[in-house]
Amino acid sequence: DIVMTQAPLSVSVTPGESASISCRSSKSLLHSNGITYVYWYLQKPGKSPQLLIYRMSDLASGVPDRFSGSGSETDFTLKISRVEAEDVGIYYCGQLLENPNTFGAGTKLEL
């Protein structure tokens, strides 16, 4: 299985400032079709996960452009600009390159 390792486990941010979350995969997530199959999700307290970023850098529908994704074949970053109170929750990276699809342990963002 592809292991997804996130850092840090938790991050505390002042509203209005930026935050970055890192994710590393145990195998390249770059497919021969040129797509990098890494995804970012936010799970707000008591809620289901919601998709933020797909294919490493594409913003999901309805997601504010304060969120952005970047990376290489195995190292990925989610950046949140101008953090707001509604951004609180646990952020997960995940991969869709291979089955089983796997997720990182999560990064808890607090204000």
Partner 1 sequence: QVTLKESGPGMLQPSKTLSLTCSFSGFSLNTSGMVVNWFRQPSGKSLEWLAAIDWDGDKYYNPSLKSRLTFSKDTSNTQVFLKITSVDIADTATYYCARRLRGSGFDYWGQGVMVTVSS
Tell me which of 13, 20, 24, 55 binds partner 1, using CB under 8 A. Answer: 55
Q: Is 81 helix (H, G, I), strand (E, B) or coil?
A: coil
Total residues at the site for partner 1 (CB under 8 A)?
Answer: 24
51 touching partner 1, by CB under 8 A: yes
35 touching partner 1, by CB under 8 A: yes
Q: What whole-number distance in Å separates Cα of residue 100 and Cα of residue 104? A: 13
What type of residue sits at position 90?
A: I
Contact present, 53 and 61 (Cβ < 8 Å): no
Omega before 15 cis (within 30°)? no
101 touching partner 1, by CB under 8 A: yes
22 touching partner 1, by CB under 8 A: no
Which range, of 11-19, 20-28, 43-51, 71-79, touches partner 1 by CB under 8 A?
43-51
